[in-house]
């Protein structure tokens, strides 16, 4: 076995079928390893290019490549995209009729397919395993492999049973892929899927084109609207909320404010949910307001922003959700509004869950890491990457790098806060404690005669919002706990004592009043703007119209025809012949044949 032929064949397929000039990152090595029959574990960020790592080996190896994927709703798009480049692909899942499934099964058995996508529960049926045993299998790709992790956010019990593949098909290479990179999950994947002998390919988890921003929440919805209007007018984006109700309300609010938004959550009727997802994928510039039920495997390349109106439960979740922005490599924003209520709510959800103590401890640790990311005064990206075990230096493309946060010695305010909580006997919630600090004559203050306390009014020099920020950080730092069984009353923890005694100094992030960004705001806007000249922009717009029409005719999503990045390249290069068009990234032989003449004619008509 010599090395060159594989590499040459793989590169040839990459260029002629997919239209890409060269492999990205570790793709080439991974492809080579799997083509030779090796097992692989691939950890690559969203948008890194995982699909090609099994698609090209499936084309090069004898037999059909079996892709295990939990994403039934997206199989159609995946198969459509492959058909567009001339790859013979199909799927097997519960949305099909018996006849349809039988037809696909026949093609698998007869070796007429390059790739077949199968849902895990389907794969595990005796019928499907028998089919695979009667067929020639080139490889197994286990996509979204982090679904085996019981601690994780996407746990699918069927995934654990996928070890059967190794037992029943020991000679078939397996490639497991995920964008979740933490150490624990990686260990679980190896263990559960029996991938001890697999070669591990760990890419950098940095997504340099994503700008991270976490702002203090005042009026979340209004802040979201300002953010969208000032930086993302007309862009596609995803807004994550914690509850179904908030999803509905936020979508309606955005619509009333003139932004095309659709809701998505697991409580919605299936057809409506699918319809909304299809519209988001196929139309330009839709904002999807969703719970975390939405998004796994969404490979819409031109999502320009991901916004969080509520705090995610873990950094893994945050990273995965924000990773859905900017898959095309063009500038994108990850924006989050975060406040005291988020900390209280997330801590309560862990506290009140039915889970056992170990699970709660793990979840508590994950939340603490997430809070650390929100409260950090240094580079957000460095913090994220360090969490995934990758040392990093300040990035220059997050809020803390762009406008360094101001920290201050908060020892005295923290002492005031802790004393106030102590003086009201640790029996009151945030609102009342802050009233006492600020010397507010509320009914409750009068009722309990709290104006007589020594702490009454000792914090009158600071606003309510400032006190909320201090309290939030005190909770995040673990100085204060919230008692959910007793009207959310605030309690001091053991860690509060050294602060009260003056033995421990506390640094906090200075509260910054939310400022409304002007519509024509300078930096962020230019950040996501493209670099096309007016003439190129005109051609690009024309191509977009052509793509909308063509997508409708072929009944596929627009990005399946060409990505924005490909069209941008066409707009710049203005190819006047098929030969010139062939050199553009994303234009393979099949697409050249199908669309080449139309594109060239369209460019000629504009000259």
Residue of 9, 11, 16, 24 interacting with ligand ADP (CB under 6 A):
24
* 327 touches ligand ADP (CB under 6 A): yes
**Residue ranges with strand state E in 449-495:** 480-483, 489-492
**Contact call for residues 418 and 500 (beta carbons, < 8 A):** yes
3-state secondary structure of 171: coil
3-state secondary structure of 182: coil
Least CB distance to ligand ADP at residue 44 (A): 5
Chain centre distance of CA 279: 19
Question: What tokens does 291 get?
Answer: 């719970």
Within the chain, what is the greatest distance between any pair of CA atoms?
A: 88
48 binds, among ligand ADP, Zn ion, none (CB under 5 to 8 A by kind): ligand ADP
Least CB distance to Zn ion at residue 60 (A): 40
Count interface residues toward ligand ADP (CB under 6 A).
17
DSSP code of 208?
Answer: T
Q: Which residues pair with 21 in a beta bridge?
A: none
379 binds, among ligand ADP, Zn ion, none (CB under 5 to 8 A by kind): Zn ion
| Distance of alpha carbon 1 from alpha carbon 554, whole angstroms | 43
Residue of 27, 135, 333, 346 interacting with ligand ADP (CB under 6 A):
27
Tell me, residue by residue from 573 to 602, as one string, x for binding to ligand ADP by CB under 6 A and - for no binding.
------------x-----------------
| Distance of alpha carbon 178 from alpha carbon 146, whole angstroms | 6
Residue tagged 């802050």 (tokens):
434
| Distance of alpha carbon 437 from alpha carbon 460, whole angstroms | 6
51 binds, among ligand ADP, Zn ion, none (CB under 5 to 8 A by kind): ligand ADP
| Distance of alpha carbon 379 from alpha carbon 384, whole angstroms | 9
381 binds, among Zn ion, ligand ADP, none (CB under 5 to 8 A by kind): Zn ion
CB-based closest residue to ligand ADP: 49
| Nearer to ligand ADP among residue 86 and residue 439 (C-beta) | 86
57 binds, among ligand ADP, Zn ion, none (CB under 5 to 8 A by kind): none
* 322 touches ligand ADP (CB under 6 A): no
| Distance of alpha carbon 217 from alpha carbon 345, whole angstroms | 14
Residues engaged in binding Zn ion (CB under 5 A): 379, 381, 395, 398, 401
Tell me, residue by residue from 301 to 320, as one string, x for binding to ligand ADP by CB under 6 A and - for no binding.
x-------------------
Query: Segment 32-71, which members bind ligand ADP (CB under 6 A)?
Result: 44, 46-52
* 299 touches ligand ADP (CB under 6 A): yes
Question: What tokens does 89 get?
Answer: 């692909």
401 binds, among ligand ADP, Zn ion, none (CB under 5 to 8 A by kind): Zn ion
Residue of 221, 366, 383, 563 interacting with ligand ADP (CB under 6 A):
563
| Distance of alpha carbon 332 from alpha carbon 598, whole angstroms | 31
**Contact call for residues 496 and 480 (beta carbons, < 8 A):** yes
Q: Rule CB under 6 A: which residues touch ligand ADP?
A: 20, 23-24, 27, 44, 46-52, 299, 301, 327, 563, 585
């Amino acid at each position: 076995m010599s090395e060159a032929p594989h590499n040459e064949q793989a590169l040839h397929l990459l260029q002629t079928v997919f239209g890409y000039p060269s492999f990205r990152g570790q793709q080439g090595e991974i492809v080579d390893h799997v083509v030779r029959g090796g097992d692989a574990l691939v950890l690559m960020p969203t948008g890194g290019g995982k699909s090609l790592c099994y698609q090209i080996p499936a084309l090069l190896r004898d037999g059909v490549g079996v892709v295990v994927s939990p994403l039934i709703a997206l199989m159609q798009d995946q198969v459509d995209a492959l058909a567009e480049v001339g790859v013979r692909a199909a799927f097997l899942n519960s949305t099909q009729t018996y006849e349809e499934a039988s037809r696909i099964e026949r093609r698998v058995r007869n070796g007429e397919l390059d790739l077949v996508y199968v849902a895990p529960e389907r794969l595990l049926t005796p019928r499907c395993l028998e089919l695979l045993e009667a067929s020639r299998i080139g490889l197994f790709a286990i996509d979204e492999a982090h679904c085996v992790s019981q601690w994780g956010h996407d746990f699918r019990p069927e995934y654990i049973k996928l070890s059967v593949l190794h037992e029943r098909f020991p000679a078939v290479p397996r490639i497991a892929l995920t964008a979740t990179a933490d150490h624990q999950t990686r260990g679980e994947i190896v263990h559960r899927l029996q991938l001890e002998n697999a070669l591990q390919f760990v890419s950098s988890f940095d997504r340099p084109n994503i700008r991270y921003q976490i702002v203090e929440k005042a009026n979340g919805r209004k802040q979201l609207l300002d953010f969208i209007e000032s930086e993302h007018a007309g862009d596609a984006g995803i807004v994550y909320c914690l509850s179904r109700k908030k999803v509905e309300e936020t979508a309606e609010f955005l619509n009333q404010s003139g932004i095309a938004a659709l809701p998505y959550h697991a409580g919605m009727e299936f057809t409506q949910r699918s319809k909304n997802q299809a519209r988001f994928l196929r139309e330009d510039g839709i904002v999807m307001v969703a719970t975390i039920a939405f998004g796994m495997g969404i490979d819409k390349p031109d999502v320009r922003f991901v916004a969080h109106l509520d705090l995610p439960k873990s950094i893994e979740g945050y990273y995965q959700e924000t990773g859905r922005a900017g898959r095309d490599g063009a500038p994108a924003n990850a924006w989050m509004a975060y406040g005291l209520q988020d900390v209280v709510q997330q801590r309560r959800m862990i506290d009140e869950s039915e889970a056992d103590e170990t699970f709660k401890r793990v979840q508590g640790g994950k939340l603490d890491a997430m809070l650390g990311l929100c409260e950090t005064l240094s580079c957000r990206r460095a913090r994220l990457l360090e969490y995934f075990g990758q040392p990093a230096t300040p990035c220059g493309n997050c809020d803390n790098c762009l406008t360094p946060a101001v920290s201050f010695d908060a020892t005295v305010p923290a002492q005031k806060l802790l004393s106030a909580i102590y003086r009201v006997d640790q029996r009151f919630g945030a609102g009342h404690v802050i009233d006492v600090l600020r010397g507010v004559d509320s009914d409750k203050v009068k009722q309990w005669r709290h104006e007589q306390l020594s702490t009454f009014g000792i914090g009158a020099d600071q606003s309510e919002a400032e006190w909320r920020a201090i309290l939030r950080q005190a909770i995040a730092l673990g100085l204060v706990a919230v008692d959910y069984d007793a009207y959310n009353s605030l309690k001091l923890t053991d860690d509060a004592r050294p602060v009260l005694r003056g033995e421990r100094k506390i640094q906090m992030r200075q509260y910054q009043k939310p400022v409304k960004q002007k519509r024509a705001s300078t930096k962020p806007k230019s950040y996501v703007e493209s670099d096309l000249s007016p003439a190129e922009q005109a051609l690009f717009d024309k191509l977009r119209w052509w793509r909308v029409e063509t997508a409708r005719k072929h009944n596929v999503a627009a990005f399946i025809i060409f990505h924005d990045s490909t069209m941008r390249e066409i707009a710049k290069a203005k190819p006047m012949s098929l030969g010139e068009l062939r050199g553009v990234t994303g234009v393979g032989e099949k697409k050249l044949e199908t669309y080449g003449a139309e594109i060239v004619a369209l460019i000629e008509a504009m000259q």
